[in-house]
Amino acid sequence: MTVLHQSPTDPAFVQNPYGFYARARAAERQGGLPLWHDYGMAAAFTHEAVQSILRDRRFGRTPPQGFAPPIPAALAPFYEIEAHSMLELEPPRHTRLRAQVLRAFTSRRIAGMAGEIEALCHRLIDGFPAGSFDLLPAYATPIPVIIIARLLGVPERDADRLLAWSNAMVQMYIAGRSARMEAEAVAAAQAFSAYLSDYIDARRGDPRPDLITALIAAEEAGEKLSRAELISTCILLLNAGHEATVHSLGNAVSVLLQHQGARAHCSAQAIEASVEELLRYDPPLHKFTRYAYEDMEVFGHRFGRGDQVALILGSAGRDEEIWPDGECFIPNRKVQMNSAFGGGLHFCLGAPLARLEMQIALRVLLERCPDLRLREVPRYRDAYHFHGLERVMVSA
């Protein structure tokens, strides 16, 4: 077995992990899944291995009985919420919860949001300051936060609070998190839960065409959703509904403005293919983890029940056997399935909305701001396995 040594907090790796990924794919093809020493687990880097394991029901998100790591008492409030999140569950609970949420993510409902997404983009651009400014808080962050709040049915005026809680909670997934980050995540989880509990109670008897109404009805039916599941589902949707899209938009603008012809890549005719290439080339999330549910050999590696495997989505998208010249951004590349939204039964159910938001936001931005340019070379946040920029300083 090949053993790879690469700290996920190494500054050079954070800024550009793709060279390490290329070496890891070569090692995987030569000797099977390598061991990523810094994580203490096997890792899949090729497109084939990543997608195969994501679809293999012998692997899953929930640790098998007897293999769940102990939870420190100080972190218990956070994990009490996570215990009811469908992101962490397997069938049949995952299937039941996902079915409730899919009511809000129908293709017709998503397509019907195009007009309000575009109107929001124009409103934000109208408020751009003169001179140099950070595009993330001015544009990339509010779009997905406001849209997911509207879809769920929570007040848009609370978007800043929801964002702050979400940003604190996702610190629990960052490599090398500190005790301070953990404490902030726990406090945010408790505040978020209390806010939603009060809001859900206030919304009973006040049906509206939003997801909270549907989820409350499922809870009141007594079989499809418990109260804890209702709160955890709302938190998951608000967190997942913006986190990846913010990074995707920031990364995309950075890539486009560092390549010639950015405006042409974002025309109405070209935008769909460009977004797929941007998601492949510099995705917002680079690593998922799965547990083995039985003893087996997969891609040359022997797994024991309870072993974990890291699935490196950021590497799968650069696989040269699927995408020739995969290290290059080619906006008119033929569209093929990439791993930016995962795969298998946990495939991101918000992917159609995220794609639509990116397509509209990038097209409108480049149409309204044809002279948009970077004012400094963007740097990525030290937050692996998330992959997003600290800021995107531009002038319009």
Residue 261: the pLDDT is 86
Mean pLDDT of the chain: 95
Cα 235 to Cα 230: distance, rounded to the nearest angstrom? 9
Residue 91: the pLDDT is 95
How many Cβ atoms sit within 10 Å of the Cβ of residue 56?
A: 15
Question: Mean pLDDT throughout 102-122?
Answer: 91
How many Cβ atoms sit within 10 Å of the Cβ of residue 75?
A: 16
Residue 279: the pLDDT is 97
Cα 385 to Cα 171: distance, rounded to the nearest angstrom? 10
The answer to whether 349 and 110 are in contact (CB under 8 A) is no
Summarised one tens digit per residue, pLDDT across range 316-371 is 999 999 999 999 999 999 999 999 999 999 999 999 999 999 999 999 999 999 99
Residue 80: the pLDDT is 95
**Residue 9 pLDDT grade (very low, low, confident, very high; cuts 50, 70, 90):** very high
**Residue 102 pLDDT grade (very low, low, confident, very high; cuts 50, 70, 90):** confident
Question: Mean pLDDT throughout 226-251?
Answer: 92
> Residue 230's Cα: distance from chain center in Å?
21
Summarised one tens digit per residue, pLDDT across range 248-302 is 999 999 999 999 888 889 999 999 999 999 999 999 999 999 999 999 999 999 9
Residue 105: the pLDDT is 81
Cβ neighbours for 17, distance < 8 A, ≥ 6 positions apart: 286, 314, 315, 384, 387
Residue 107 has pLDDT above 90, yes or no: no
Question: Mean pLDDT throughout 165-180?
Answer: 94
> Residue 385's Cα: distance from chain center in Å?
10
Residue 223 has pLDDT above 80, yes or no: no
Residue 282 token pair: 């510099």
Residue 292: the pLDDT is 98
Sketch the domain layout of the chain as residue ranges.
3-395
Summarised one tens digit per residue, pLDDT across range 55-94 is 999 999 999 999 999 999 999 999 999 999 999 999 999 9
- 3-state SS string for the chain: CCEECCCCCCHHHHHCCHHHHHHHHHHHHHHCCCEECCCCEEEECCHHHHHHHHHCCCEECCCCCCCCCCCCHHHHHHHHHHCCCHHHCCCCHHHHHHHHHCCCCCHHHHHCCHHHHHHHHHHHHHCCCCCEEEHHHHHHCHHHHHHHHHHHCCCHHHHHHHHHHHHHHHHHHCCCCCHHHHHHHHHHHHHHHHHHHHHHHHHCCCCCCCHHHHHHHHHHHCCCCCHHHHHHHHHHHHHHHHHHHHHHHHHHHHHHHCCCCHHHHCCCCCHHHHHHHHHHHCCCECEEEEEECCCEEECCEEECCCCEEEEEHHHHCCCCCCCCCCCCCCCCCCCCCCCCCCCHHHCCCCHHHHHHHHHHHHHHHHHHCCCCEECCCCCECCCCCECCECCCEEEC
Residue 222 has pLDDT above 80, yes or no: no
Residue 189 has pLDDT above 80, yes or no: yes
- At 174, which amino acid appears? I
The angle subtended at Cα 344 by Cα 145 and Cα 21, nearest 5°, is 80
Summarised one tens digit per residue, pLDDT across range 21-60 is 999 999 999 999 999 999 999 999 999 999 999 999 999 9
Question: Per CATH, is 3-395 categorized as 3.40.50.880?
Answer: no
Residue 225 has pLDDT above 90, yes or no: no
**Residue 245 pLDDT grade (very low, low, confident, very high; cuts 50, 70, 90):** very high
